[in-house]
Every structure is written in structure tokens, then in C-alpha cells.
Amino acid sequence: MMMESSVKREENVEDYVKKARLNSTLAALLHDPILADVPKNPTLSDVDTLISLELGSAMRISILKLDDSSFDVALMNSATVKDLKLAIKKKVNNVEQSKMGHRHISWKHVWANFCLSYNKEKLLDDNSVLQDYGIRNNSQVHFIPYVMSKDSQKHSRGRKHRFFHGLNKCTGADTCMYSTDSQNQDKTGLKHKFNVQQ
């Protein structure tokens, strides 16, 4: 039994040494200037995209931010606007994580207030292929301020409903007479609450 445990310990030590060598070699490779575009913790998909980039079946796109700084993302030639947004999200989250530790960015807020643009054309349809806009390898895409029109906002009715629903919770003598349940709502109480002249 003692012999079996010593053999297992030796195997564990050998495994540990192999993993340490592999991690050391990987760290050295990742610090090589030739591999500067490889992320810190690359996934198989990241590596496949970078190989495709070298073979010409992927493209590198430069993203220009509002502060005139930029960063690059690599995507397959068949990528859509949605793929580009996901690559931007991943890149920015990785940079923020390495610089500042855990920091949450509300991407829903970002895409509600900004959009991507190429040659002054807004990339609004997530399902559109980037090459349909003329985006090729080494193209530069810009972040620009963008406010969705009321017609294109998906949740505007729900947001309005939640806002007004919260106003029903009035306290004191002057209660709201605004009801979200009826179709013909009496807004007199709401106007009174906000001192709106009729």
C-alpha cells in the first residue's frame, strides 16, 4: 500500500511539473511580439479566428471609440453586425478586467445610446453581413451617438407601463386616480399629482 501511494505521489508530481512547464512555455509564447494579438486566455474559437486571419478567410477590423482611441477585433469574413458587437463586447470586457478587475458594463445601455458606423452608414441591422456594407480586412468602424426612434424601441410600452404603474402607489390624502387596468384611464389624478395645469 505504501508503495502504491508513493507511486501516485510521483505521478502527481510529474503531472504538476508537466503543467508548470506547459504554462511557462505558453506564457513565453503569449509574450512573444509575433503573438501580441492573442488574448490572455484564448479560447479555441479565438485561435481558429487568428489562424483564419493569417490564411485570409478572416478580417481584422479597427474600432474607433468616441475618445479617438481604437482597438482591433478579428472576425470571420462571413461575420454579421451581431458578431462584431459580440467581439467588441468580449474585447472591451477583457481589457477592463485586466486593467481594473471586475467591472460591469451595461451593454444594453451602450447599444441603446450608441451604434457602429462605417463610411457614415449606421450598422443597425444585427443580421446584416459586414461585407454587405463594404467592410473588409483593415476597415475602420466608428462608435457614434445614436438614439433609437420611438418606433424602433422594442420595450417602450412596457417601460411606460412600469413607470405609470409605480405612480399608483400614492400615499396621503391626495391619491392618484390613474388606473393602468382600464383602457380609458382618467389622468386627472396624475395631472394633479404633478401639478399640471389642464
> Is the same domain home to 95 and 59?
yes
Same domain membership, residue 128 and residue 50: yes
Quick one: cell of 7? 507511486
At 78, which CATH number? Answer: 3.10.20.90
Does 101 share its domain with 76?
Answer: yes
Asked if residue 44 and residue 31 are part of one domain, the reply reads no
pLDDT for the residue 156: 44
> pLDDT-derived band of residue 4, with 50, 70 and 90 as boundaries?
low
Within a domain: 135 = yes
Neighbours of 123 (CB within 10 A): 22
Pairwise CA distance, residues 129 & 125, whole Å: 9
Predicted local confidence at residue 150, as pLDDT: 61
Mark whether 80 and 124 lie in a shared domain.
yes
Whether residue 114 lies inside any domain: the answer is yes
Residues 30 and 86 in one domain: no
pLDDT on residue 121? 94
Distance in angstroms (rounded) separating the CA atoms of residues 120 and 197: 44
Q: Of the given ranges (52-56, 84-88, 185-189), which has the lowest mean pLDDT?
A: 185-189
Tell me the pLDDT tens digit for each residue of 97-129.
777 776 788 999 999 999 999 999 999 999 999
C-alpha to C-alpha distance for 16 and 76, rounded to whole angstroms: 37
C-alpha to C-alpha distance for 47 and 51, rounded to whole angstroms: 6
Q: Are residues 186 and 169 in the same domain?
A: yes
Q: Cβ neighbours of residue 174 under 8 Å, at least 6 residues apart? A: 189, 192, 193
User: What is the reported pLDDT for 189?
Assistant: 43
User: Looking at 58-165, which runs of residues are DSSP E strands?
Assistant: 58-64, 70-76, 114-118, 121-122, 140-145
Assigned C-alpha cell, 176: 392618484
29 domain-assigned: yes
30 plus 96 within the same structural domain? no
Residue 151, in any domain of the structure: no
Residues 58 and 89 in one domain: yes
What is the pLDDT at residue 2? 59
Answer whether residue 58 is part of any domain: yes
Q: 169 and 117 share a domain?
A: no
Q: What is the pLDDT of residues 34-76, one digit of tens each?
A: 666 677 777 788 888 888 888 888 999 999 999 999 999 999 9
| CB burial string 136-166: b at 16+ within 10 A, e below | eeebebbbeeeeeeeeeeeeeeeeeeeebee
Counting the structural domains of the chain, the total is 3
Domain membership of residue 198 (yes or no) is no
pLDDT of residue 54: 84
User: What are 145's three cell numbers?
Assistant: 451617438
Residue 124 lies in a domain: yes
Same domain, 22 and 62: no
pLDDT tens digits for 130-185? 999 999 999 999 999 987 666 655 544 444 444 444 444 444 444 444 344 444 44
Judge if 47 and 140 occupy the same domain.
yes
Residue 27: pLDDT band (50, 70, 90) is confident
Q: Provide the grid cell at 189.
A: 389624478
The answer to whether 96 and 84 are in contact (CB under 8 A) is no
Q: What pLDDT was estimated at residue 130?
A: 96
Owning domain of residue 21: 9-38
Closest CA to 79 of 139, 39, 36, 147: 139
Q: Does residue 98 sit within a domain?
A: yes
